[in-house]
Structure 1
Amino acid sequence: MVYTLLYGQFVIRYPDIPNQGPEPDGDTIKFLPDDPQLVKDLHQISGIKPKINERGISVRLEAIDALETHFNNTHQWLDGANMARNKLLAYLGFKNVVFMEDHPNKIESASHDSLPGYVLSNGIDANGRVIGFVFKGSDDRPGEDGSTITVDTTLLDKSINTKLLADGRVYPAFYGTLPARLREHLASKSQAARAAKKGIWPRSTADLRGAATVFSSESLKELVMWPKLFRRLVVFFSTHNNGLKDFDAWLRMDPVNRDDRVFLLDTNTHANFHNIVTIDGDTIKLNVEFEKVVIEPDPVN
C-alpha cells in the first residue's frame, strides 16, 4: 500500500487565540498542510470527510495509542500520558513547552508555535482526522509534496510513531489499513519495549499479565491499560454505576461505536471487541496480546 506525502507545519499554539489553541497528546497533533487539497483528496476510509479548516487538521498517529491526557473530562495515569505527549513534542523539535495553569492541555509558551515536518498518510479516519506516520523537519525529503511513497522499514523507523513504540511510551493499536509487513515490524518494536520494561510497560494492567480491578470511572484514573479499553469503560460508567456487570451486554448493543470488529492473528478469525475482553466480578483484562489484534475501521455509512 502506498502513502501520500504531505508537507506542512505541526502546530501546537495559536498566538492570536492561545486559549483556543490545539491540545496535543501522545498520539494526536495539529497539522497545517502546505497544500490542503492533498488532504481533501485522501481516501475517506469510513466515508467521513476530513475536518480541515484554515488552521489545519488533526493528525492521528498510525499504529499507536497513547494514554489519555483528557477524555470525557477524565484521564489515565497522567505521568505516563504526559510523558508520551512531551516526548512527541520533543521529537518534533519543540522545546521549553509550558502548559497553561487553568487549561492544562493548552500551551502557554514554547520555543516555537509551529515547526515544519511531514506526514505519510493513507487516509482519513472516522473522526475526520488524517491517519499517518509523522516525521520531523523537511530536510530529508523522501519525495515531492503529494507524491506517493511505498513505506519500507527503513523509512518507518525514522517516524515518530516507531520511536514512541520503541520507547515504550505508547501501546500498539493496529488497524486493518496498516500493511502487514509494517504491522509486523512495529509489533517487534512494541514487544521489545515490553520485554525491556520500558516506559508504561511495568505498570500495564488489564492484559495477559494481570487483570485490573475496576468499579467506576474514578478507579481508572491511575491505571495503565490499553486506551481503547479505557475509553469504552469511561463511556460505559457515564451511564452505569453497578460495576462491570453489564459491560459485556453494553458493548454488544452497538457493533460500530462500541463492539469494534477485530481480526485475531493467532487464530486467523474474525471477532468483536467483547470477544477479547474477559470480566470476572470487578476485574477486567484483554485475553489476547495487543500486537495480535487488528481493528477493522468503522464501516462506510
Structure 2
Amino acid sequence: MNILNLIRWKNLLMIAFVQLLIKYALLQPFSETTELTITLNGFGFGLLVLSTLCIAAAGNIINDIYDVETDLVNRPTKVIIGKKISEKTAYSLFIILNVIGVLIGFYLSHLVGRSGFFAIFVIISAMLYIYASYLKQMVLLGNIVISILVGLSILIVGVFELMPAITDQNQPTQLTFFMILFDYALFAFLINLVREMIKDLEDIDGDYKSGMNTLPIAIGRDRASKIAFGVSLLPLFGSVYYVATYLLKSKLLIGYFLVLIVVPLIYIAGKTYQAKSKKHFHHISNMLKLVMLFGMLSLLLYPIVLK
C-alpha cells in the first residue's frame, strides 16, 4: 500500500480513465460512423496507457523524493519516503518505471510506423525529473511545465491514434477530432495551472522553509491569490466560449457544461478571490479536481448527441 500511495495511484487511475474515455467514448464510436480512422488496436492502446502510467508514476516518485523537506511541514502524516520507504528504494522504483515506460514508448512508436514519436516519451520523462529537481522552485515556470505535461497525457492519445492514420481523404475528419482533443488538453492545462497555483498558496510555509521561490513567496500570499483568481477566469471564459461556439445545437451538452463546469468555475473564482487560509485553498483545490473530472466525463456525451 505504501508503494501505491507513493506513485499516487488515484491520480494514475484518473489518467488511465481519461485515456480510456478518449479511446472508447469518443474515437471508437465515431470511427464506425464517420471517416475517422484510428491506429491502435486494444493491445497497442493498452501499451500506450501503460507507458503513460509508468512515466507518470516515476514522476510522482521523484517529485516526492525532492519534496520530503517541504512535506514534513505541509503534510507530515503523508510523508512516505524516509519513513515507510527508503530513499534508495524510491530511486530504484523511479529508474525502473522510467525505463519500462520509455522502452514501451520505443516499441509503440515503431508499431505505428512513426519512430520519431519515441522522443515524446523521452522528453516527458526528462521534463518530470527537471520539474521536480529544479523548475518547481521557480516562480510560475514549474506550474506551467507540469500543467503542459498534464495536457500532453490527453493529447498523446490523438498523436498515436489519429496522426499515423491521416490520408488525403480523411484528413479533415482526423484534424477535427484532434482539435477536440486539443481543446480538452487546453482545458486540463488551465485547470491544473490554477490548481498548482492554489497548492503553492496552500503550501507556502513548507515551501518557504525549503528555500523555494514560488509565486506566493516571491510576491506575497495576497497578491498571488489575486493572480490565481485572474488565472481561474481563463478556464471559465474558455468553457463559455466553447459552449457558445461548438455546442449550441445540443441542449444536453449546454446543460451539462453550464451546471457541472461553468457554475462550479464561477464558484471557484469567487472562493479564490476571497480565500485567506490553508483550509480555503485546500477546498478550492478539491473543487478543481471535481471540475477536471466532470470536464473529462463530458466525452461520454458526444456519441449520444452527435450520432
How would you bin the TM-score normalised by the shorter chain?
under 0.3
The structure where helix makes up a greater share of residues is: 2
- TM-score normalised by L of structure 2: 0.28
The structure where strand makes up a greater share of residues is: 1
